[in-house]
Amino acid sequence: MRIAITSGKGGTGKTTLSTGLFYVLTEYMKYKVQLLDCDVEEPDCHIFIKSPPTDSYPVTLSIPYIDPGKCTFCGKCKSICAFNAIIMLPMTKFIEVVTDMCRGCGACTYVCPEKAISEDYEEIGKVTYHDYLSSEGFIEGRMKVGKALQTRVIRETIKHAAQNGITLYDSPPGTSCPVVATVSKSDFAVMVTEPTPFGLYDLKLMTETIRNLGKKHGIVVNKAGLDFHPLYDYISAEKIPLLGEIPFRKEYAMAYSHGHILPEKYESLKQTFLDIFKMIINA
Which residues in this chain contact another protein in the complex, by CB under 8 A? 8-12, 15, 41-42, 44, 47, 62, 80, 82-83, 103-107, 110-111, 143, 145-151, 155, 172-181, 184, 196-198, 201-202, 205, 208-209, 212-213, 226, 228, 250, 253-254, 256-259
CB of 34 to another protein, least distance (A): 21
- The distance from CA 252 to its chain's CA centroid, rounded to whole angstroms, is 24
Contact between residue 111 and residue 77 where contact means Cβ atoms under 8 Å apart: yes
We find the least distance from the C-beta atom of residue 260 to another protein, in angstroms, to be 10
Compare residues 104 and 244 and give the one whose CB is closer to another protein: 104
CA-CA distance, 188 to 166, in Å (whole number)? 11
At its nearest, how many Å lie between another protein and the CB of residue 71?
Answer: 19
Query: Minimum distance between the CB of residue 21 and another protein, rounded to whole angstroms?
Result: 17
204 three-state secondary structure: helix
Quick one: 173 or 263, whose CB is closer to another protein? 173
Strand ranges (E), the chain: 2-6, 33-37, 53-66, 86-89, 94-97, 117-132, 134-143, 166-170, 188-193, 216-224, 242-247
Identify which of 145, 54, 71, 148 has the alpha carbon closest to the alpha carbon of residue 108: 71
- Minimum distance of another protein from residue 135's CB (angstroms): 26
Nearer to another protein, 112 or 139 (CB): 112
Torsion of CA 171, 172, 175, 178, to 10 degrees: -90
CA separation, residue 229 to residues 30, 148, 196 (Å):
38, 39, 10
Residue whose CB is less far from another protein, 101 or 283 = 101
Nearer to another protein, 202 or 262 (CB): 202
